[in-house]
Amino acid sequence: MRHPQLNANGELKHLLTIEGLPRATVQHILDTAESFVGVAEREVKKVPLLRGKSVFNLFFENSTRTRTTFEIAAKRLSADVLNLNINTSSASKGESLLDTVDNLAAMHADMFVVRHAASGAPFLIAEHLDRHHGPHVHVINAGDGRHAHPTQGLLDMYTIRHFKKDFTQLRVAIVGDVLHSRVARSDIHGLTTLGVPEVRVIGPLTLLPAGVEQMGVRVFTDMREGLKDVDVIIMLRLQNERMRGALLPSAQEYFKQYGLTREKLALAKPDAIVMHPGPMNRGVEIESQVADGPQSVILDQVTFGIAVRMAVMSILGAN
Contact (Cβ atoms closer than 8 angstroms) between residue 272 and residue 233: yes
Average pLDDT over residues 280-300: 95
Residue 253, pLDDT score: 86
Taking CA atoms, 259 is separated from 84, 91, 92, 124, in Å, by 36, 38, 39, 37
Annotated binding site for carbamoyl phosphate: 65-66, 115, 149, 152, 278-279
CA 233 to mean position of chain CA atoms? 16
Q: How confident is the model at residue 242 (pLDDT cuts 50, 70, 90)?
A: very low
Residue 9, pLDDT score: 85
- Please state, in angstroms and rounded to a whole number, the distance separating the CA atoms of residues 180 and 243: 8
Residue 246, pLDDT score: 58
Annotated binding site: 65-66, 93, 115, 149, 152, 182, 237, 278-279
Average pLDDT over residues 137-166: 96
pLDDT for 240 beyond 90: no
Q: How confident is the model at residue 112 (pLDDT cuts 50, 70, 90)?
A: very high
pLDDT for 160 beyond 80: yes
Highest mean predicted confidence (pLDDT) among 10-14, 118-122, 288-292: 288-292
Which residue has better confidence, 290 or 8? 290
Which residue has better confidence, 284 or 18? 18
Which residue has better confidence, 64 or 293? 293
Residue 244, pLDDT score: 47
- Can you list the domains of the chain with their CATH numbers? 23-149+303-318 (3.40.50.1370), 151-298 (3.40.50.1370)
Q: How confident is the model at residue 91 (pLDDT cuts 50, 70, 90)?
A: low
Residue 243, pLDDT score: 46
Handedness of CA 179, 184, 186, 192 (dihedral sign): negative
Annotated binding site for L-aspartate: 93, 182, 237
Average pLDDT over residues 264-280: 96
Residue 11 burial by Cβ neighbours in a 10 Å radius (0-12, 13-18, 19+): middle
Tell me the pTM. Answer: 0.93
| Residue-by-residue DSSP string for 145-189 | TTTB-HHHHHHHHHHHHHHH--GGG-EEEEES--TT-HHHHHHHH
Residue 270, pLDDT score: 98
pLDDT for 3 beyond 80: no
Q: How confident is the model at residue 88 (pLDDT cuts 50, 70, 90)?
A: low
- Please state, in angstroms and rounded to a whole number, the distance separating the CA atoms of residues 241 and 180: 10
Average pLDDT over residues 83-107: 77
pLDDT for 92 beyond 70: no
Highest mean predicted confidence (pLDDT) among 57-71, 77-91, 154-168: 154-168
- On average, the pLDDT of the chain sits at 91
